[in-house]
Structure 1
């Protein structure tokens, strides 16, 4: 819960600030850990140099100690070698010789109550170590201690397999402590300063990187319904922002086309709806002026126009349902042949009125029981009815309209062919648009130009393909292809 609150708080920041914080966090963590690693290596190196100098000093001291036959020691006054530079002051070194029993045989320097440990050092030397080192911190028992910590070396004096005498020297680590403290202070001041510079740099770079996005936002806000031709700028760099700009422009293209299509649709629908209403108004005005007008003829004409209005409204409602998308579909497993026969039954009356024969052919390429499809029964039936009725309307009287169903392994195909005049080449690209009809056929063929537009929408909703083309001779051919389940 706590982490979620932190995450939500972080998400409330702007992208620029979030990018800067992430950059500083990664850079800061890397810098801190890397400097900690270098700092530890530096301490180890200083410690090794300090121990090497202390070892050399210990060897020099041990060379001046003479051990008699009876174990007595000759411990002459120490001479300072001014030719050497050591990381500790020689005058403050504490030196003593100790027996394995713990007895202190000789001492140089003011030890006070300081009693260096020795038992584990003897054990390590007996195991073969050349010398042992340890750091003694927070010295309190040494009078006038020169530093907070001393470095203690224990070195064997006799050459026995198990040495019994050990030289111990404790020296202050003043110089090493000073060097470490200076480097630590430099890191404590330097790292925050570097992170501060990195933060400013991150803010600057993120602002530069997001400038194209801000320009896109600015232009997008300025695009209104009346200015859909505007497009967001596309940067030269081949990056994600360029892809975003191109994607937004493609979306704006689709929105502009949709608005233009909607405007054309409203204009055409208004014209189609206005025509029967104008006719009905004229009939009613004429009836009002002419007392001897045949009322039955007026009613017949008015009913015909009402039927036209009802057909337009039904087709527009169906088109609105199709425009609602896949959420408006009632999907189920269907037998495509049954859909075809149901649609042909609805087209039979129109075919008989023109004495047109409907020829049905069903081909099963698989040789087995044909597969079913998945879709909306009413919409698919409407699609088949629309393309079959279209073929009947544009076919001359006493002709044949061929309806062929091809069952494949993966797809089912429907072909509807007529022997009419075909589709004008200039109209072919727009045949599936709303209210699109061939100008030379408008006066001879009854319709409103919505059927094929509805059929194409239904095909798209079912991830199917609806196409139209002309025969090499006369007539048109419509093809509908849908996947099997």
Structure 2
């Protein structure tokens, strides 16, 4: 629950601050871990140097100790090289010689009640260690202790295989404590300071990195419907910002094309709807002025225009459904030959009116049974009807329109060929646009220029292909390809 609240809180802050926090988290964690490792390594090094100096001092002291025949000890004045610099004051060193029985044989310095341990030290030396070290912390029973901790070394004095006499020297760790404290203070001050600098640096760098995004945001805010030709700037660097700007520009291209298409659609639809309405208005005005009571001809003409308006509205509604996208489809498994048979039954009346014969052939290029496709039954029937009616309309009377259904391994093809005048070469690229009609046939063939645009949209929604080309010596050839399931 707490993690969810944290994630919700993080999701509400700006991406700039998020980037800075992530940078600070990664950099800070890495830097703190590295400094802790280096600090521990530095302590180990200083400790080793301190122990090495203490060991050398212990060796010098042990060389001055003489053991008599009766086991008595003699401590001559200690002589050290003048060039030696030790990390502890010699005057405060506590020195004693101890027997394995626990008896203290000799002492130098004010031990007070301080009694250094020795038993485990004997055991470790007997096990083969050259010397043993201990850190005695919080020394309260040493009179006038100069440090919070002392370093104790135990070193064998006799050369027996199992030494019985130890030289123990305890020295204050004042210098080592000071060095560690200074370095710790540097880390305590330096790490927050570096993290603070890194925070401002991260904010600055993230702001610089997001400047192109902010420019794109400001430009995108100022793009209006009347200024869709504007584009966001594309940076030179080949990074994600460049990909984002290119994607936005591609989206703006599509939006501009959609707006232009809708504007053309509204203009063309207004023109197409206005024409029959103007005709109906003129005829009704003539009827109103006419003294002839025979109104059958006027009514028939008005009904024809109403039919035209109904046809336009139906096609526009169908186009709106197609424009709604794949979510408006009722996809199901279909046998495409049944779709064509249904389309033929709807086109039969139009073909008879022009004495045109519809020739339908099925070609199976595989050894399998008929193929099935997945699609919207009503839309695919509309597509087939549109292609067949288009071929009938543009074919002369008493001609033949060829329909071919071809089953291949991966796709089903539906081909419609007519023997009409064909499509002018300069109009082929625009044949599937809304309200696009060949100018040479506009007065001879009734239509509104929406059928092929609808058919092309239906093909795109079914991930299919609808193509057109002229065939020799005359006529047009439409082919529809859809994937089998």
Q: TM-score range, shorter-chain basis?
A: over 0.9
1:370, distance to aligned residue in structure 2 (A)? 2.2
Kindly indicate whether the alpha-carbon contact (under 8 Å) linking 1:80 and 1:90 is maintained by their aligned counterparts in 2: no
Kindly indicate whether the alpha-carbon contact (under 8 Å) linking 1:99 and 1:105 is maintained by their aligned counterparts in 2: yes
Kindly indicate whether the alpha-carbon contact (under 8 Å) linking 2:60 and 2:80 is maintained by their aligned counterparts in 1: no
Kindly indicate whether the alpha-carbon contact (under 8 Å) linking 1:50 and 1:87 is maintained by their aligned counterparts in 2: yes
Give matches, 1:318-329, under 5 Å: 318-329=318-329
2:246 is equivalent to residue 232 of structure 1: no
The residue that corresponds to 1:280 in the other structure is 280
The residue that corresponds to 2:355 in the other structure is 355
1:482, distance to aligned residue in structure 2 (A)? 0.6
Give matches, 1:97-112, under 5 Å: 97-112=97-112
Deviating beyond 6 angstroms after TM superposition, the runs of 4 or more aligned structure 1 residues are none
Q: Tell me the TM-score normalised to structure 1 length.
A: 0.98
Partners in 2 of 1:103 and 1:289 — Cα distance?
146
Kindly indicate whether the alpha-carbon contact (under 8 Å) linking 2:404 and 2:414 is maintained by their aligned counterparts in 1: yes
Partners in 1 of 2:385 and 2:352 — Cα distance?
15
Partners in 1 of 2:184 and 2:32 — Cα distance?
12
1:357, distance to aligned residue in structure 2 (A)? 0.9
Partners in 2 of 1:373 and 1:120 — Cα distance?
90
1:68, distance to aligned residue in structure 2 (A)? 2.0
The residue that corresponds to 1:258 in the other structure is 258
Q: 5+ unaligned residues in a row in structure 2: which ranges? A: none
The residue that corresponds to 1:16 in the other structure is 16
Q: Deviations over 1:66-125 (max 9, x none)?
A: 122232222334345433100000010011111112121111111111111111111111
Task: State the Cα RMSD in Å.
Answer: 1.1
Kindly indicate whether the alpha-carbon contact (under 8 Å) linking 1:95 and 1:167 is maintained by their aligned counterparts in 2: yes
Partners in 2 of 1:355 and 1:107 — Cα distance?
136
2:222 is equivalent to residue 213 of structure 1: no
Q: Tell me the TM-score normalised to structure 2 length.
A: 0.98
The residue that corresponds to 1:143 in the other structure is 143
Give the match's secondary structure for 1:339: helix
The residue that corresponds to 1:411 in the other structure is 411
Give the match's secondary structure for 1:158: coil
2:103 is equivalent to residue 119 of structure 1: no
Q: Deviations over 1:293-336 (max 9, x none)?
A: 42111221111111111111111111111111111111110001
Q: 5+ unaligned residues in a row in structure 1: which ranges? A: none
1:364, distance to aligned residue in structure 2 (A)? 1.1
Give matches, 1:349-388, under 5 Å: 349-388=349-388
Kindly indicate whether the alpha-carbon contact (under 8 Å) linking 1:366 and 1:407 is maintained by their aligned counterparts in 2: yes
Q: Deviations over 1:362-420 (max 9, x none)?
A: 11111111221101000011011101111111111111111111111111111111111
Kindly indicate whether the alpha-carbon contact (under 8 Å) linking 1:422 and 1:476 is maintained by their aligned counterparts in 2: yes
2:302 is equivalent to residue 305 of structure 1: no
Partners in 1 of 2:472 and 2:228 — Cα distance?
41
